[in-house]
Copies of this chain bind each other. A is one copy, B any other.
Amino acid sequence: MELYEAMNRRRDTRSEFTGSPPAPEVLDRLLRAAHSAPSVGMSQPWVFVTVHAEETRRAFRDHVAQRREEFASLLEGERADTFARIKVEGIMESGLGIVVGHDPTTAGEVVLGKQTVADTSLFSVCLAIQNLWLAATAEGIGVGWVSFYREEFLADLVGFPEHVRPVAWLCVGEVAALPEVPDLERFGWRARGPLERVVHAERHGWS
């Protein structure tokens, strides 16, 4: 698939999973795409745990359901009604979870480019996720990023050592189709804004 097409077709997927996880050779290409992302000081500070096991996914789904309730309890009126219609995860339906973690120790103590901004290593992990997401789109695979979780719970669930921080649970699986319009826009939660709002010439606040 052409790059710009992949960017435009990419969607955060929740309801469209068919129940089949990606075939092993497709999964391999997705992980290789992630692994080819740029990283500070060539540290490649990412970790991927592929979760097919139903028991693990069920435990995570139950945890996420509770966090959803907590969030719902903060909302009132139209916001509460709108949120009630929005699906926030496809953990069981997707057939595969990929837990992405940040391991800041992969390149030792002195990482080129990380000295002044320690988070650059965390940023690298996100770049890898976007590569995976675009590759999935090109392969006809849906990806849904779940963020309704407590980090300690997820770290414990997949056995991350103390120094590895969970960054995402990605629901990854075959889809009937990718939605044309993002769910949050379709259900009236929030629409995309114009580019002009976020671009400034020379200094912030000028345009």
| Residues of chain A at the chain B interface (Cβ within 8 Å) | 1-4, 6-8, 10, 12, 29, 31-33, 35-38, 40-44, 46-53, 56, 67, 70-71, 74-75, 79, 83, 86, 88, 101, 106-107, 110, 112-117, 119-120, 122-123, 126-127, 129-131, 133-135, 138, 145, 147-151, 158-161, 164, 167-168, 182, 184-185, 189-193, 195, 198-205
The 6 closest A-B pairs by CB, nearest first: A126-B126, A130-B130, A42-B190, A159-B203, A127-B130, A42-B184
With the chains together, A31 CA to B200 CA distance in Å? 11
Copies in the complex: 2
Chain B residues positioned under 8 Å from A161 (CB to CB):
204-205
With the chains together, A17 CA to B99 CA distance in Å? 37
Chain B residues positioned under 8 Å from A48 (CB to CB):
198-200
Are A191 and B1 closer than 8 Å at their CB atoms?
A: no
With the chains together, A4 CA to B37 CA distance in Å? 11
